[in-house]
Amino acid sequence: MSQSVRNFAIRAGMIFGALVFLTHPFILRLGGVVQSLAGRVGFDPYPMQGEMLLIVLLSLLGAAIWRAVDKNGWDNETLWKLLLVETRFVLAAAMLLSGLEKVLHVQMPWPTAPDWIRPLREMPSLYYVKIWTGASGLHETMLGLTELAAGVCLLFLRTTTLGALIALISVGNNVMIVLGFDDPRVGSYWPFVQLAAMALLLALMDLKRVWEFFAFEDKPTTPTDARHHWASPTLQRLERTAKTAFVIVVLLASVPIVVRGLDARARSPLAGAYAVEDFSVNGQAVTTAAPDAARSRWRLVGIDDCRRFAIRTIDDRQLESTIVGPSVGRLRQHSECASMTSAETGTLTIAPADVRTLGLVRPGPQGELRYARRGATVQLEGKIDDATVVVRLRRIPDKDFNVNKYPNSF
């Protein structure tokens, strides 16, 4: 590779790393902006593919502009070292933040009642992987600890290879899961492929030493240089402050994760699965005299923390509505919902849900339901879809569902 091409590729790589830091769903999460931009240029059905393409194009364009304005800048060796440092820290940030999300059980939250009351086959496969992993505290925590270990190792030059190898195993597993469980056209593997490529790059940098370590045990190995030795005084000064700045950014980015983790401890007293004991429409009990109504009678209801209101009908369809809360925020959704529904009586406003990501689910009704909770019984009354319904629900204890009885589910 000629020096010029190499110089261009390194610069493009550095811009790519910076864009990954900004857009990655585990780090600063600004990918939505790029995705909506991609949507405008025809990537609406597959926004993640569009996001990746735009990131690559922006990296190439950025490298060209950078070279044009900085012809006599840093040499290739310095740029290459900078690229490796950047790769190490971007990967470390992703591993630390994703690990923290897993340890606090917010990346793949506990499956909720709307998913307890439908069969597996109705769920999209990747969706299932998430709720299945979320169903075990031990599993998700251990995955998180592995990522945290990789992240911590990546923070130090002398343990970079170990961190890169752990990250490669951890993220490589995720790449294979996403490749195996999702439609490849969607491109949901890109966030993991980005990280796996970074881990691979770092591991390859030390490949010779690692190979000799494992394959030639009779040969002594030498350590890597644990210092950067920057030629530029600017970089020497920068090195001292960059790590501190990085730690501050990661700490700031982890604040919402911790808040969400603490919030997840709260739970609405309404959340759970219910058997429908009585169901009447416009004052009439639903009977076989009206076959269509009889088939559509509610059989089970699953409610989570002020998001999903799921209805399972007698003929085994799942209808889902969204619970419209006046002030339910993203960070404190559970505790706000718990406080909103803590009274024994209240009102739920429901609207048809966006069911695109839920699998075989139809949009549910809309309207307002007054609820009255007494022990294990909940009475719902109100007008939905222009009909007045009265529904008596009996709470099915959570422990009656096997999903709440997995060993080590914390």
Partner 1 sequence: MTAGVVYAIEETRPVTGSVAKERPALHVPALRGWGWGLMSRMAILFGLPSFANILELHRVGINLSRYRDFAFPLFQRYIMPAKTGTFPGDLDVTARYTMLYELSFALLGAVVWLLLDRRRKHEAVIHEAGRLVARYVLAGMLFYYGGEKFVGDQGGWSLEPEHQMDLWGNNTGFEAMMAWLSYSTLYAWFAGWAEAGAGVLMFFRRFTTLAALLTLADMGMVWLINQSYWDSWGGAAFSPIHFMPYAVFLLLPQATRLADFFVRNTPTVTVFDRITPPQWFRVGSVALKCVVVPLIIYKEVIGSVYHGQAVHTYSPLHGVYEVVEFQRNGVVEPIASDFPRRWLQVAITGLNGTDNSRGDIYGRTIHDKNFSYDVYWPDLKLEMEGPTLIERARNARLRVSRTKAPEGDLRLQSSMMTRIKSSKKGTFGKVDTLGLLHYTRAGFDNVILEGTVEDEKLKVRLRRIPLESQPYFRIRWKPI
Site for partner 1 in 279-338 (CB under 8 A): 279, 286-288, 291, 294-295, 297, 299-300, 314-316
Task: Name the burial class of residue 380, with classes exposed (0-12), middle (13-18) and buried (19+) by CB atoms within 10 angstroms of its CB.
Answer: buried
Query: 64 or 226, CB closer to partner 1?
Result: 226
N-terminal to C-terminal alpha carbon distance within the chain: 54
Per CB under 8 A, the list member of 8, 66, 246, 401 interacting with partner 1 is: 401
User: To the nearest whole angstrom, how small is the minimum distance from the Cβ of residue 120 to partner 1?
Assistant: 5
Give the one residue of 159, 254, 349, 366 binding partner 1; rule: CB under 8 A. Answer: 159
Minimum CB distance to partner 1, residue 304 (Å): 13
69, 215, 330, 374: residue in contact with partner 1 (rule CB under 8 A)? 215
Complex with partner 1: residue 250 or 310, whichever CB lies closer: 310
Letter for the amino acid at 208?
K
**Sign, CA torsion 47/48/52/53:** negative
The answer to whether residue 139 forms part of the interface with partner 1 (CB under 8 A) is: yes
From 55-63, 127-135, 321-329, 340-348, span contacting partner 1 (CB under 8 A): 127-135
For the record, the structure tokens of 116 come out as 């307890």
Contact status: 354 vs partner 1 (CB under 8 A): no
Q: Please report how close the Cβ of residue 96 comes to partner 1 at its closest, in angstroms.
A: 18
For residue 142, give every residue at least 6 positions away whose Cβ sits within 8 Å of its Cβ, in sequence order, or none.
Answer: none
| CB contact at 8 A, 366 and 258 | no
Please state, as a whole number, how many other Cβ atoms lie within 10 Å of the Cβ of residue 24: 23
Alpha-carbon distance values, 155 to 85, 250, 382 (Å):
10, 12, 57
List the x/- string, 360-389, binding to partner 1 by CB under 8 A.
x-----------------------------
Q: Show the binding pattern over residues 87-126: x = contacts partner 1 (CB under 8 A), - = does not.
A: ------------------------x-x-xxxxxxxxxxx-
Q: How far is the CB of 41 from partner 1 (least distance, A)?
A: 26
Contact flags string 185-214 toward partner 1, x per CB under 8 A: ------------------------x---xx
User: SS3 of 29, please?
Assistant: coil
**How far is C-alpha 353 from the geometric centre of its chain's CA atoms?**
20
- Our CB check for partner 1 shows the closer of 128 and 246 to be 128
Q: What are φ and ψ of residue 363, in 5° steps?
A: -60, 135
The contact pattern for partner 1, residues 258-277, with x = CB under 8 A and - = no contact, is ---------------x----
DSSP 11-22: HHHHHHHHHHHH
Nearer to partner 1, 34 or 196 (CB): 196
Alpha-carbon gap, residue 253 to 257, rounded angstroms: 8
CA distance 23 to 34: 8
Residues between 224 and 253 that touch partner 1 (CB under 8 A): 224, 226
Neighbours of 100 (CB within 10 A): 22
Count of beta carbons in the 10 Å neighbourhood of residue 116: 21
For the bound state, the minimum distance from the C-beta of residue 217 to partner 1, rounded and expressed in Å, comes to: 5
- The Cα 130–Cα 197 span in angstroms is 23
Binder among 3, 72, 222, 241 for partner 1 (CB under 8 A): 222
Query: In this complex, which beta carbon is closest to partner 1, that of residue 224 or of residue 377?
Result: 224
Calculate the CA dihedral of residues 235, 5, 53, 24 and round it to 10 degrees. -20
* The one among 8, 66, 128, 246 contacting partner 1 by CB under 8 A: 128
Task: Kindly determine how many residues on this chain lie close enough to bind partner 1 according to the rule CB under 8 A.
Answer: 72
From candidates 28, 60, 152, 177, binder to partner 1 by CB under 8 A: 177
Q: Is 69 in the site for partner 1 (CB under 8 A)?
A: no
3-state secondary structure of 179: helix
Min dist. Cβ of residue 161 to partner 1 (A): 7
Give whichever of 16 and 279 is closer to partner 1, judged by the CB atom. Answer: 279
For position 223 contacting partner 1 by CB under 8 A, the verdict is: yes
CA dihedral 210, 212, 217, 219 (to 10 degrees): -130
Q: Could you tell me the smallest distance in angstroms from the CB atom of residue 124 to partner 1?
A: 5
287, amino acid identity: T
Q: 310 has which bridge partners?
A: 302, 320
